[in-house]
Every structure is written in C-alpha cells, then in structure tokens.
Chains A and B, each alone.
Chain A
Amino acid sequence: MEAQEFLSAMKSGRMSRRDILQMLTAAGLTMTMMPVGRAKAADGEVIYFTWDSYNDPGFHPGYTSKYNAEPEGPAFGDAEEALTKVRGGFVVDLVHPCNLDLKRWGDAGVIQPIDTSRLSNWGNLFPGLTKLPYAQDANGGQMFVPVDWGNTSILYRPDLVDVKEESWNMLWDERYTGQISMSADATEAVPIAGIVVGAKDPFNMTDDELAKAKALLVKQKPLVRFYWDSNAAVEQALASGELVMATGWNSSVVTLNGQGVNIKYANPKEGIMSYCCGLVLTKDAPHLDKAYDLIDAMIAPEAGKWLIEVMGYGHSNAKSFDLVDDKTLAERGLPRDPGAFFSKGIIQQPIMDTERVQKVFEEVKAGA
C-alpha cells in the first residue's frame, strides 16, 4: 500500500481492523529483519570518532562540499577510552588519536595501513610529522596521517594568579586550592608530574620516578576542583573565575580571548609540551572510499587555514601556512615551520607501557 493511499484510508476510516493488523505485522517484521550494525552503517556517512567538539565542518570543508553532508562524529574524552570502545566492537572508520597514543593503537591491531597515493594533499605534508615514531608500522606502511599539532601547557588568568616565573610547578601552588584543574587523561597528567619531579623521560619513567610522580599527584588532588574531560568545561570554568588555572590546549586561548576573557598560555621554563594528532583508519572500516575523502579533506590547505585561524592549532600541510599571515601565526604562538617548533619544547613521546601509567593515575583519582 502506498503511503498516500494509506493515509487517506486512515482518514476516511476505510481501514479494517484486519488491514491495520496486517500493516503492523509487516512493519514489525521489517523492523526485526532490518540488518543491524555493520550492514546498516555501510550506506551512511563516514564515521569519524574524535575528540569532543572536533567534528566541526571547518575541519573538512572538502568533504562537506563533496557529499553535502557531515561525517557522523561520535566523541571521546580521551584516546584510551576510544581504543577500548573500538576494541569492544564499536564500528567507526577513522579515529583521531595523537602521536603519543600511536604505539598502543598499532599494538592493538585495530588499524590498517593508509594508501597515501589516494591522498592528493599527501605530498605537501611536513615530513617531520608524517615520520613521527610509530606513524609507520614495521613494514613501512603509513598508519597515521598527521592533521593538527599544538601544545599542552597551563592556561591561566593573569588577573587572578600571581606568577613570578612560568613553570609546571604552578599547578601545585597551594594558594589556589580548589581553583586548579588537571586533565583527566593519564597520558597528559602523569608526564606533567614527571616533568616536575625531574624525570629523565617523563613519558617512560622508572618505577622510582613514577612513584614520586604519583606522590606528587596525590599531593595535588586537594588543590584540584575537578579533573577535566572536555576542554569546553575548562573554558567555562576559567571564564567564570571558578578556575584560575588548568592544563589545556592552544584552542582554548583563542576561544577565551574571543570571549574577552583575560587568559594567558604559559611557556613553562621546563619546556612546553607539544603533540601532533591525526587520523588512523580502522581495520574493518565500512566506508573506505568516504574515509579517504575525509582524510584528504582534513589535510587540505583550506582546512589548515581554518584550523590555524579559528582553532589556533598548527596544521600538517605546509601550504596552509602560505594562506595565513605572520601576525595571525604570532598571535597563536605558531611558527612557520613545525620542525623548529618541535625541537624547542618537550615532544610528547609514545608511552611504552600505557597501562602502568593509567593504573597510577586511576589510583590517584580513586583515592578516597
């Protein structure tokens, strides 16, 4: 029965009880027989599993104009949560982890090599970023396409915090008890404590160093208002004055300055932490072609221009920097060449034993 016909029959009361029952049975059968999960996902949009608030059309203008649709964008709070979900059978095409997570994604065996010949913008990416440790697998297959890079440092309100010298130690200042926030992500929080205790490699600490870092985090806990899972929460709390400082990323500076909040991004004397995030392709990606289109759209120069100007992050494509003037770059603390940039600070290194680090931080958080 056609929909029109069905509606008019309903209206005029020409439907018999039997007809309605038949329709309901048919509808019920269709619903139950409908292929669920993977098969259903196959004809939808590409599924791009990313950080909270990172599925903005600005990231991938090429994809939006080609398909006149947006990727489906489920969000995660940290990359470990994302990995757990993907391993647990959550079907997605692309995920947006960062360089320090790459070893773990490779080990988990949930991603596949990316055919870079299918990416028109591949040739213009900074080689320093495409060849980061673990961006390629043992056979030389490209497992990771870099997209955005930036810093992790301390966001603080210069009007509310008295700073003599910018240092990671600021996060342990007891004068600001209950006004500090720390990332809930162990792979960020634990290395920060590692830097403060003076660990040789804050990303891969010895047992002794890790114990010291843990003690430091326990000491910090009473000062912390909450451990943040989304940068939006941090931005709101900093804007209202509920927090006076928090660990955070470049984009929050641009967002908060845009709202007229007096915010400063610290350049700690121990070194600022830098990272590079990008895309990995899952092994059983149901929308392979669209996934390649999304990758290519995200590393295109016009996407990079938006990323730099609106979000305040660095981009992986050298051409995007040609589209941006020096003043904009300087305001965001971004250099023309990430190579020089990365040699200056502390690059986040892949953590060899993430579980050990996770466990330590979870114990700190759970401590009653």
Chain B
Amino acid sequence: MTLQAAPTTTAASLQTARPEWLDGLWLIVPTLLIVVGMMVAPLAGIVLVSFWSQTGFDIQRDWNLDNYRILFTAEGALYRILILKSLWMSLTATIAVVLLAYPMAYFMAFRIERAKLIWIILLTVPFWTSYLLRIFAWKVILGFNGVINSGLKFIGVIDKPLEFLLYNPASVTITLAHAWAAYAVLPIYVSLEKIDRSYLEAATDLGDSKWKRFWRITFPLSLPGTIAATLLVFIPTVGDYITPTLVGGTSGIMIGNSIVTQFGKANNAPLGAALSCVMMLAITLAVCAFLAVIGRKRLKAADI
C-alpha cells in the first residue's frame, strides 16, 4: 500500500520543493557560521599543529607523529599521570556538585510555590561575579589567615593555622565544586519541574513510601537533567587551569596547566596541541564510559 502511494506524492512535490531538511537551512546559517568559524576551524587548527614540530622560535611544518610518540612512551608518563589525575579531580568535583545541586533543585521544584523566578535569580546571584573572584573568595576562606583558620583559632579549636586547607588537590576540588554549582542546579531543576505530579500521587495511592516513591518515580524522571548536569560540569573542569594555578599550589596542578605552559613558557605549541588532543580524547572516552554505565536502555527511557 505504501509502495503505491509513495510515487504519486513524490512526483507532485518534486517540481516545487527542495529536500525537506534544507528548508530550515537559512535559519541556522548564522549559528552554523559561528560554530564553524569559532569552533570547528580552531579545533582543526589544533589537530593540524599537533603533527608539526617546534625548533627554537619557529614551528616546522614537517608532518610527523613525534609529539604523540612522546605522549605515549615513557617520556610522557608525566602527562598521562596528569591527565588521569585531572579526570579524577574533575570526577570528584562533579560528584560533589551534583550531590549538592540535587537537593537545591529538588527544593526549588517541589517546595517553592510562589515567586520561583526570584529563587532562581537568587541562586544565580553569586555567579554574576567573575569566575576569578569566586576562586579568590575560596583563597580567602581556605587561606593561612583565612576565614576558617581564624575562626577556628578564635574559638580555640586550633592554635596553629591548618595548612592542609589550601594549595592541594582537595582545595582545587572544593573550589571547582562551588564555582560550577549553578551549571548543575538549573538543568536538574528543569527536569524535576517537568515531572507530572499525578505520577507521584498515583505512587502514593498505590502504597509507595516517600523514599520508594523518590527512587521509582522522581529520580528516574530527573535523570536527563542529572546526566546533563554531570556532563556540563565534568567536561569543562578537566581542562581548567586557572583554579589549580590559584589554589592548587605545587601538588594540585592539572593537565590544563601543562598545556598552558607548552603554549607559553615552554614554547612548544605543537606538543601543547597534541596534549590538548589527547586530553579531549581522554574526556570523550570517559564520557562514553559514563554513558555506557548508565546504559542505553535507561537513556532511551529517560528520553535524551
């Protein structure tokens, strides 16, 4: 039946219309241009440069795999450890962010009845300040004579400032967890807000406890936002270099610092480019692994 119907419709539309997918093209042209110009082209540039080499002040356009050879042999063990360490630090920060953000989003979605917009705005107020300022704030809080140390000293818990608060991987993780909170709250809030409240009533009617109801209805339905939040925080934080520079000290540095150094002080842009490529690859693998753990079935059910 469809076989017979198809030719007639196609014949009719052939003269008048271009393929359907082309219709919206002019609408996305500006976006497309920006994406190609600002993202695809520079990215291609980085991949290109990573196959070149640096001699003195000049970049040699000799195609070779030397940079990758360095990164994947004993010479580059340092960078591989740094990538793993960065992934680990970001993962910790991401888990902390999501754990902190979920209750906030839950509260906004289910407990706030009036003036939700004001709550959302209030939530984003700290994020109106510059990212740098927020990191410096943590430096002030965690510092040697910082808020925590002087507070504890004042109430007599300690007599010498705690030095482990600042300049280590933990302080980087704490700072990242706070700095990215808003990026996690909003997507989770949106997916919680979308949940049809009658499901919850139905679950209660059928005898589910509050706890059970949460795990069977609310949590699965909020997965899209939670997964989005996880990725939104995890992916950019792996490559962060400003936070570790300011609060990381000597032990808290991440792969981003190494990449910056290659482009600056160490003056080896090709190696820096190769490092960036390997880092992006590592992030992609980590994200794929994460999504695989979540499972395709569940992803489909969650409608992502």
Contact = CB atoms under 8 A, between A and B. Distances in A.
Interface of A: 78, 80-81, 84, 87, 107-108, 178, 186, 221-222, 224-227, 237, 240-242, 355, 358-359, 362-363, 365-368
A84 B263 CA distance: 8
A87 B176 CA distance: 33
- Classify the interface of chain A: helix, strand, loop or mixed: helix
A365 B145 contact: no
A365 B253 contact: yes
Given A178-B163, A240-B145, A241-B144, A359 B266 contact: yes
A103 to B, nearest CB: 12
Nearest to A355: B267
Closest 6 CB pairs between A and B?
Answer: A242-B144, A368-B81, A226-B249, A240-B145, A80-B265, A362-B266
Contacts of A87: 57
Contacts of A107: 56-57
B85 A368 contact: yes
A358 B265 contact: yes
Contacts of B79: 366
B276 interface: no
Contact of B250 (A81, A224, A240, A362): A224
B170 to A, nearest CB: 14
A363 B76 CA distance: 10
A186 B264 CA distance: 13
Contacts of B263: 84
B82 interface: yes
Measured as residues with beta carbon below 8 angstroms from the partner, the interface class of chain B is 20 to 34
Contacts of A359: 266
Nearest to B249: A226
A240 B264 CA distance: 32
Given A365-B250, A368-B85, A84 B265 contact: yes
Interface string B55-95: 01100000000000000000000110110010000000000
A362 B264 CA distance: 11
Chain A CB within 10 A, most for which of B79, B144, B253: B144
A367 B267 CA distance: 18
Nearest to A108: B57
B250 to A, nearest CB: 5
A78 B145 contact: no
B124 interface: no
Given A226-B249, A368-B82, A368-B85, A186 B144 contact: no
A80 B267 CA distance: 9
Nearest to A227: B250
A186 B145 contact: no
B204 interface: no
30 contacts: A80-B267, A81-B264, A81-B265, A84-B263, A84-B265, A84-B267, A87-B57, A178-B163, A222-B250, A224-B250, A225-B167, A226-B249, A226-B250, A227-B250, A240-B144, A240-B145, A241-B144, A242-B143, A242-B163, A355-B56, A358-B266, A362-B258, A362-B261, A362-B265, A362-B266, A365-B257, A366-B78, A366-B257, A366-B261, A368-B85
A361 B202 CA distance: 64
A367 B78 CA distance: 6
A178 B167 CA distance: 10
Given A84-B263, A225-B163, A365-B261, 5 more contacts: A108-B57, A226-B167, A227-B250, A242-B163, A365-B253
B264 A80 contact: yes
Interface in B222-274: 249-250, 253, 257-258, 261, 263-267
Given A221-B250, A227-B250, A368 B78 contact: yes
Given A108-B57, A178-B163, A237-B144, A366 B253 contact: yes
A108 B145 CA distance: 44
Contacts of B267: 80, 84, 355, 358
Given A80-B267, A81-B264, A358-B265, A363 B144 contact: no
A323 to B, nearest CB: 38
A225 B249 contact: yes
Nearest to B252: A226
Contacts of A362: 258, 261, 265-266
Contacts of A237: 144
Contacts of B258: 362, 366
B148 to A, nearest CB: 14
A316 B144 CA distance: 39
B270 to A, nearest CB: 14
A317 B136 CA distance: 40
A242 B145 contact: yes
A66 B163 CA distance: 49
A365 B161 CA distance: 26
Contacts of A242: 143-145, 161, 163
Nearest to A182: B250
A307 to B, nearest CB: 28
Nearest to A242: B144
Contacts of B167: 225-226
A242 B264 CA distance: 29
A321 to B, nearest CB: 36
